[in-house]
Amino acid sequence: MSMHRIMIYSRFERLWHWLQAVAIITLLFTGLRIHGVHQLIGFEAAVNIHTVVALGLLALWAFATFWLFTTGNWRHYMPTRQGLWRIVRFYSYGIFQGEKHPYRKAFWRKHNPLQAAAYLGLKIIIFPMVWISGLLYLYLVAGGSWPGLVNFPDSIALVHTLAAFALILFLLVHLYMLTIGEGFLKHVRPMLNGFDMVDLSRVEEAYLEEDEPGHIKDGSNP
């Protein structure tokens, strides 16, 4: 195994990431306005923007899910217990002692076990809570399409709000993690140009050099 600078995030992954980030921040901003936390835009404008962006984000999630399964990239998001506690120990203790990160990215697994578990939880728990509660409130409660649910608008709104706060917490932790270790730019750069240092076997290295030469660069130039 040897370290090489290879493309680990495709154009679609990077586009998906940044569109999702902009959409989520917009939804949080308009959602806080709807709840009266700020008065920076009008209530009606906030509701309209929130609805349009939410539907657009839902379409993006559907397309991204299709892409993940058709390309096999879903494997990167499957958590494993192997090395998990070393990662947990590093972030809870070792990082404050100047220890080296115990995880080396591999061609077949670009997320460490803790990242994979966090992203999987985001995709199968928090995101579904957001869009299911949002759609229920938008089309079934507010629209009156399901009269039986009209008796539970506050409960549905509460679930939506709790999911939103869980998403805010995830974003804050995500941003914090980008500031530690090798620095913010070092962490963000792969999501801008797609390239990062990854552990390759000789077979993987030969495959990339032969079939995808544009996806591998000199390992000595990170």
Q: What is the pLDDT along the chain (222 residues), one digit of tens a residue?
A: 678 888 888 899 999 999 999 999 999 999 999 989 999 999 999 999 999 999 999 999 999 999 999 988 888 888 788 888 888 888 888 877 777 877 777 777 888 888 888 889 998 999 999 989 988 888 776 655 555 555 567 788 889 999 999 999 999 988 888 887 677 888 899 899 989 888 887 877 777 777 777 778 764 444
User: Would residue 81 count as lying in a domain?
Assistant: yes
User: Of 80, 103, 79, whose CA–CA distance to 90 is shortest?
Assistant: 103
pLDDT score at 163: 93
Residue range(s) defining the domain that contains residue 149 = 2-9+76-217
User: Would residue 27 count as lying in a domain?
Assistant: no
Q: Cα–Cα distances in Å, from 164 out to 24, 129, 132, 139, 171? A: 9, 9, 12, 19, 11
At 128, list the tokens: 């579904």
User: Would residue 193 count as lying in a domain?
Assistant: yes
At 3, list the tokens: 């370290």
The pTM of the full predicted model, rounded to 2 decimals, is 0.82
User: Would residue 127 count as lying in a domain?
Assistant: yes
At 177, list the tokens: 């993690």
Our count of domains for the chain comes to 1
User: Would residue 44 count as lying in a domain?
Assistant: no
Query: Where does the chain have alpha helices with state H?
Result: 11-34, 43-71, 84-92, 113-121, 127-135, 153-179, 184-193, 202-211
pLDDT score at 70: 92
pLDDT score at 145: 53
User: Would residue 20 count as lying in a domain?
Assistant: no
User: Would residue 45 count as lying in a domain?
Assistant: no
Integer Cα distance of 121 and 170 in angstroms: 10
User: Would residue 52 count as lying in a domain?
Assistant: no
pLDDT score at 150: 55
